[in-house]
Structure 1
Amino acid sequence: MFDTTRGPAREQLEPNVVKKLETAGTLVHDDRRLRSFFFDGRFLTAKDLTREQTYFLTRQADLGRGGGIGVVAGLHVENGPDPRALRITAGHGVTPSGEAVVIPRDLANVRLDDIPEIQRLDAAFGLAQIPRETARNRSGLYIVALRPVEYTANPVASYPSSAGGTRTAQDGDIIEATAVTLIPYPDSHAGAGYESRRSRVAHETFVRNGGMRPPVDALPIAMIALDHGVIRWIDKYLVRREVGSEQTDFLGFSQAPRALREAHLLQYQQHLKEVLADRKKSNRGERFAASEHFFTLPPAGPLPVAAVDPKSLTEVFFPPEVDVELSVVPEDELGALLEESLFLSPIDLTRTGEELSSTSVLVLVPVSRQSMDQALSTLFPAERSATVQLRATASGLVARRQPGEALRALTLRRTALAADTTSSTTTSTGPSLADAAWSTLLSSATTLWYARRRNFPYKPAAIGQTVEEPDDLEDDFTKVLREAELYDEFGSLPKRATALAISRAYTLMRSYAEGNYAAGKQLFAGAGGEILRQKWINSGAVQRVQQRYTYEYRGVGLSQLLSAVAEKYQYTIALPHFARASSVVELDKYALLASKDGKSGLLQETVYKSLFEGKTLDDAVAAFRKNYEHPPY
């Protein structure tokens, strides 16, 4: 085993062996790795000791690059006390050459118009241009960078090295320091606005993997835009990189380094926050297309809540050619989904519509795990695991909309039905109740995220294939199943129900679909919905639902309620409302008791008002219960 107390673990070569290896060309020299060989009786000079220091500084820089280059901690650039100053927090980092740069305390007032100091540093680092504008009138994009520097100080006596020499004074210490300087960024779009130039630099950096390469002896920590010396914006993540793996080819597939991908997400978050603040200040609202302010989007990130309309389930943020779907995710799983999406390439908004047509994005609604079941209570298991398509409504792109999209948009417009209308009874043809459930979920969302999705085809099931039932073979059971919007959910039963449970569920539901029960279709939808909403179904679960739906005068109250609402309000309660309610039995019993107690009008008004406001039958039952003292027994 290697013993660290006895020196480095290196093979000691004899001179004759060295000569043979050099002749064979198998001995490689590194001119930087040369140090003095000390022994008793040797006369030491300043050159020997200086070379010793240089050797260890070089080795230290090599080790610094091995640990990663970038910011280790701190070094955040913020607005200073006035528009011509910066504030830099304490921290340290590693330059591309491996040198450490350290700021031990916060720099609260770094003056950009400190002309003598800035000009002296620019000239020292070879950045001065002739002719050169004064620092107070600087305009353009600049990189704020930290450079490792050193200087000598603290004179000490120098004794003569010869008999005739005289005593002199020389600086006795070498002081290492960090200098803050500005590096002009070569911007080819100087005529554009500062916000547009910021977006172009982001596109050039994160999509094209280009942009200016900073010198190896400087650590970039931010990019700023100056307008005659006044700071217009500060963007840290355009040039700032955290310490980590900086390989240029991730896993050998020409993927950007992880630090660059993380920087893109952080830069986008900061830019989006400033855009929203600016739009709020100018009363322009938060519903806008991403292409208005960005040339590229990271593969995952936040988006404004107003970008998605909860009523029509449409979005305006992404180009209309992008396939956008909506889903819900527990808050504690959001980070893992975003992490996975970061492996994908950015969304380049400068591409044509045909190039973007293969891009898929998933909009995520974070929900706490405790309230997950409550938020999805009106959705069936298959709907919970599925996604909802969001349609694009970008302004100025109506011509690209498909005819079906325009027709559906018309059907989504809700118009009030006057109570004194003399027309015949109609059936509601609004959006599906599944869409209504998602709309309710979106309305209560405070944050939204998106994640780019992979585009390779896959099948969620290991075996099996969906086969549609031919129309000419449909019986009454299948027709009512479709009318209640339970067809797909019933078809998924083999994945989560026993064979005996499926048989009993079919027998129970068929008895209502084909029997002579009053309100038989409504009882069919109610019983079927209660069975199908369960995650795992066995025969006992079906039996418990059957017992709930076994009582005297079953369906009589519902039949009376349906007839009264249709006659009074010219409104037919669609079957999906019953399929998604868990209190159909209670509503049936309440309707029968209310007719005996003279409360039928109150129940009818409560049900109609709840459904007209986009609520559910369960909400109607709960509202009626508050105003009715008798339990439904």
Structure 2
Amino acid sequence: MSTLDNVLQLQQPVKEGGIRSVNFFNGRLLTSKDLSREQVARREADARLGLALGDGVAFGLEAARDADLDQVNAPVLRVRAGLAVNRAGQTLCLTADTSVALTRRFDAGEAAACDCVFANCNPLADGVYVAGAGVYVLTIAPAQTSEGRAPTNGLDPSNVRCNTDATVDGVQFRLLALNPLRFADLDPSSSQFRNRLAYRCFGIEARDSNTLDPWQNDPPNYGLIDELRDSALSDCDVPLALVYWTSAGLNFVDTWAVRRRLLEPDALSGYAFQRNPLDPAELSSFAFQARARRLVETHAMCAQFQQHLADLLAASAAPSALIATQYFRYLPPFGIVPLHSLSLHGFSDTTFFTGIVRRPAPGSGQSTPFIDARLLGALQAQALASTPTDVNQKEFVWVYRPWQNVKASREGEPVQPMLVFASGQLPDIAVARFDMARLDYSNLAGCCGAP
């Protein structure tokens, strides 16, 4: 027998892993099993499309405290309508804004679907449902229940329990506890707790260790959320928010610490690290530089900072006195800081960045340089490829003023004054361009930022 007899030939169909649909033809006897097989095939086809799109939140599903219903001993969150895709490729759609109680009184067993209906996420991994004080991850996951009754012919009395009219594929919310041992070194009473916990979810330690030996050290899994997947967080769950619950009620709800936009599969992920340093076929391809996950996480870092900053602004009676280092150990590669004015609350240019190395440095005789606001999109796009700034390492950040914003503010228009900061790893973009700059809102030699 030829050695090629068992080798797949060109254009020869590969049946293994193929989707098997029922072949319908006139005269065929159909049973409920046949129709269930067709449902399974449809679900499998949809799931493969979902896997190609990637897992995460497509839009909506923002979670926040429900101000009308929230109580100290019975917190309630308001989740906006939206769509997500889980790691199993299933789409999870919430069609209307929904209030979700974090203490459970609903008996999930009452809504269990009939066993004769296919459900590849039943049961979900075990997790904490009735919560108390602690740190939790709110997730959305698939749920299945029955609706109505269908008439039967009575030929098979054993199937009476399955005579429901329809099976409803819906969603459910779950509350999963983070292992407190994984952040025991963080002081919950510290004003930096929220920021440091968020970056523990981002896996900042693993990202930093990756820079020491990127040729061999590029772990595919890192951070608190990946660790939670080893226990309670299943591939059917999509994380929506990080919830810190104390005896005084909800301390904060941080969505972007765990929420991610859709992350498509990475073609380089199979070469993420060098498993055998002596095998040339397994040399590292430096996938960390191109891996889509890094970009998605950096985007989340920027959004998490803006949400945290907005919460500080709303909670403080005197935000102009707040100092960033009191609340932030890590800064994202790009951020916008609203400044106070006569009519609007905001932070102080000089006070907010106290203790943070910035360029130009305070006291250098140079004011904060101008940039063209039309460059903000390009600046953010560059910054997303950079890493966050650890303010304890005394690395500097660039700080800029969009000249259009400054001009409008000086002319009395009701605009929010603002500063923009970016990672010091980026090149300086505060340069005057011929026929693109104004003399009174440009950075000229010897008078950087001077109007």
User: In which range does the TM-score fall when normalised by the shorter chain?
Assistant: 0.5 to 0.7
Describe the SS at the equivalent of 1:263: helix
Distance change in 2, residues 1:271/1:118 (3 Å):
farther
CA distance in 2 between partners of 1:233 and 1:74 (Å) = 19
Q: Which residue of 2 aligns with 1:339?
A: 381
Q: Which amino acid aligns with 2:295?
A: R
Amino acid corresponding to residue 218 of structure 1 in structure 2:
D
SS in 2 for 1:238: coil
For each residue in 1:170-224, what CA deviation from the matched residue of structure 2 results, as whole angstroms up to 9, or x when unmatched?
Answer: 2231111111121212232357216544222222233345221342101211111
Matched, 1:286 2:324: no
Counterparts of 1:70 and 1:30 in 2: how far apart (Å)?
29
Alpha-carbon distance in structure 1 between the residues aligned to 2:247 and 2:18: 45
Name the SS of the counterpart of 1:368 in structure 2. Answer: helix
CA distance in 2, matches of 1:284, 1:370: 20
Tell me the number of residue pairs that the alignment of Structure 1 and Structure 2 aligns.
361
Could you tell me which of 110, 116, 121 is aligned with 2:100? Answer: 110
Q: Which residue of 1 aligns with 2:36?
A: 50
Q: Distance in 2 between matches of 1:238 and 1:177?
A: 25
TM-score, normalised on structure 1?
0.49
Q: Which residue of 2 aligns with 1:193?
A: 188
For residue 212 of structure 1, what is the amino acid of its counterpart?
I
Displacement, 1:228? 4.1
Return the letter of the residue paired with 1:363. Answer: V
Structure 2 partner of 1:297:
331
Matched, 1:68 2:105: no
Counterparts of 1:22 and 1:56 in 2: how far apart (Å)? 34
Contact 1:360 1:455 in 2 (8 A): no
Residue 180 of structure 1 aligns to a residue whose secondary structure is strand
The one of 164, 172, 179 equivalent to 1:179 is 172
| Deviation sequence 1:600-627 (CA, Å, 0-9, x none) | xxxxxxxxxxxxxxx99xxxxxxxxxxx
| Higher Rg | 1
- The amino acid across from 1:51 in the alignment is R
Deviations 1:82-104 (A, max 9, x none): 23111111222211211111111
| Aligned match for 1:159, one of 153, 177, 180 | 153
| Matched residue, 1:274 | 311
Alpha-carbon deviations, 1:321-364, whole Å to 9, x = none? 998994211222222212222211111235xx4xx5xx442111
Instruction: Decide whether the 8 Å contact of 1:201 with 1:211 is kept in 2.
Output: no
Q: Per the alignment, in what secondary structure is the counterpart of residue 39 of structure 2?
A: helix
The code of the aligned residue for 1:159 comes to: N
| Separation in 2, partners of 1:120, 1:166 | 20
Deviation at 1:38, TM superposition (A): 2.8
Per the alignment, residue 356 of structure 2 pairs with 318
- The secondary structure found in structure 1 opposite 2:289 is coil
1:142 counterpart (115, 130, 136): 136
Aligned equivalents of 2:169 and 2:401: distance in 1?
Answer: 51
Partners of 1:186 and 1:316 in 2: how far apart? 34
Contact 1:189/1:197, CA 8 A, preserved across alignment? no
Displacement after TM superposition at 1:300 (Å): 0.8
Structure 1 pair 222–41 and aligned structure 2 pair: CA distance change class (3 A): same
Structure 2 equivalent of residue 13 of structure 1: none
Q: Residue type matched to 2:298 in 1?
A: R
Whether 1:235 aligns to 2:271 is no
Cα distance in 1, alignment partners of residues 306 and 355 from structure 2? 15
Map residues 197-212 of structure 1 onto 2, 5 A cutoff. 197-206=193-202, 207=204, 208=207, 210-212=223-225
For 1:348-427, what aligned pairs fall within 5 Å after superposition? 348-350=390-392, 353=393, 356=394, 359-368=395-404, 371=407
SS where residue 53 of structure 1 aligns? helix
Amino acid at match of 1:272: L
Contact 1:143–1:183 (CA under 8 A) maintained in structure 2: yes
Q: CA deviation at 1:34?
A: 1.8
Look up the match of 2:298.
261
Partner of 2:24: 38
- Residue 23 of structure 1 aligns with which residue? 6
Are 2:240 and 1:221 equivalent residues in the alignment? Answer: yes
Query: In 2 relative to 1, CA 205–22 (structure 1 residues): closer, same or farther, beyond 3 Å?
Result: farther
Question: How far, CA to CA, are the matches of 2:154 and 2:328 in structure 1?
Answer: 68
Counterparts of 2:313 and 2:44, CA distance in 1: 47
CA separation in 2, counterparts of 1:120 and 1:160? Answer: 25
Moved more, 27-36 or 39-48: 27-36
> Unaligned regions of 5+ residues in structure 1, if any?
1-19, 376-443, 461-494, 497-531, 536-578, 581-614, 617-633
Instruction: Name the amino acid aligned to 2:225.
Output: M
The 3-state SS of whatever aligns with 2:126 is coil
Q: Distance in 2 between matches of 1:344 and 1:121?
A: 47
Separation of aligned partners in 1, 2:287 and 2:307: 29
Partner of 2:278: none
CA change 1:61–1:168 in 2 (3 A) is: closer
Aligned residues of 2:111 and 2:146 also touching (Cα < 8 A)? no
The 3-state SS of whatever aligns with 1:73 is strand
> Secondary structure of 2:6's partner?
helix
Letter in 1 for 2:354: V
Determine if contact 1:140/1:227 at 8 Å carries over to the other structure.
yes
| Gapped regions of structure 2 (runs ≥ 5) | 113-121, 208-221, 227-232, 273-285, 340-346
- Name the counterpart of 1:125: 124
Partners of 2:175 and 2:333 lie apart in 1 by 31
Measured in 2, the distance between the counterparts of 1:98 and 1:316 equals 46
Question: Cα–Cα, structure 1 residues 317 and 339, in superposed 2: closer, same or farther, change >3 Å?
Answer: farther
CA distance in 1, matches of 2:55, 2:169: 19
Matched AA of 2:188: G
1:60 partner SS? helix
Are residues 284 and 299 of structure 1, via their aligned partners in 2, closer, same or farther at CA, if it must alter by over 3 Å? closer
TM-score between the two structures when normalised by the length of structure 2: 0.67
Q: Distance in 1 between matches of 2:198 and 2:159?
A: 59
Give yes or no for contact 1:245–1:257 (8 Å, CA) kept in 2. Answer: no
Q: Amino acid of the residue matched to residue 193 of structure 1?
A: P
Measure how far apart 1:32 and its partner are.
Answer: 5.7
1:139/1:161 CA distance change after superposition, 3 Å: same
1:265 shift after superposition: 0.4
Q: CA deviation at 1:308?
A: 4.0
Query: In 1, distance between residues paired with 2:405 and 2:246?
Result: 48
Relative distance call for 1:44 and 1:197 in structure 2 (3 A) is: same
Q: Measured at CA, do residues 231 and 269 of structure 1 come closer, stay the same or move farther in structure 2, by a change above 3 Å?
A: same
Which of 351, 371, 391 is matched with 1:329 structurally?
Answer: 371
Q: Distance in 1 between matches of 2:308 and 2:406?
A: 33
Counterpart-to-counterpart distance in 1, 2:306 and 2:56: 20
- Is 1:309 aligned with 2:350? yes
Cα deviation 1:288-339 (Å, max 9, x = unaligned): 2x332122111110246455439xxx95252589989942112222222122
Deviations 1:350-404 (A, max 9, x none): 5xx4xx5xx44211101218949x99xxxxxxxxxxxxxxxxxxxxxxxxxxxxx
CA RMSD in angstroms, aligned pairs only:
4.3
Higher-helix-fraction structure: 1
Deviations 1:525-562 (A, max 9, x none): xxxxxxx99x9xxxxxxxxxxxxxxxxxxxxxxxxxxx
What does 1:87-98 align with in structure 2 at a 5 Å threshold? 87-98=78-89
